[in-house]
Amino acid sequence: MPLELNSPDFSSGGSIPKQFTCDGADISPALAWNDPPGATQSFALIADDPDAPVGTWVHWVLFDLPANARALPQNIPKKEQLADGSRQGRNDFRKIGYGGPCPPPGRPHRYFFKLYALDTKLNLKPGATKKDVERAMQGHILAQGEWVGRYGR
d(CA 110, CA 20): 14
- Does 66 map to a domain? yes
Higher pLDDT, 111 or 1: 111
Domain count, the chain: 1
Flag whether 70 is in a domain.
Answer: yes
The CATH number of the domain where 96 resides is what? 3.90.280.10
38 located within any domain:
yes
Q: Are 8 and 124 in contact (CB under 8 A)?
A: no
The answer to pTM > 0.95 is yes
Q: Give the pLDDT of residue 75.
A: 98
* Maximum CA extent, the chain: 44
* Identity of the residue numbered 133: V
- Residue 153 in domain: no
| Within a domain: 77 | yes
Enclosing domain of residue 120 = 5-124+132-137
Condensed to tens digits (0 to 9), the pLDDT of residues 16-59 reads 999 999 999 999 999 999 999 999 999 999 999 999 999 999 99
Q: Is residue 65 included in any domain, yes or no?
A: yes
Look at residue 146 and tell me if it is in a domain: no
Is residue 144 situated within a structural domain? no
Helix (H) or strand (E) holding 8: none
CA distance 68 to 86: 12
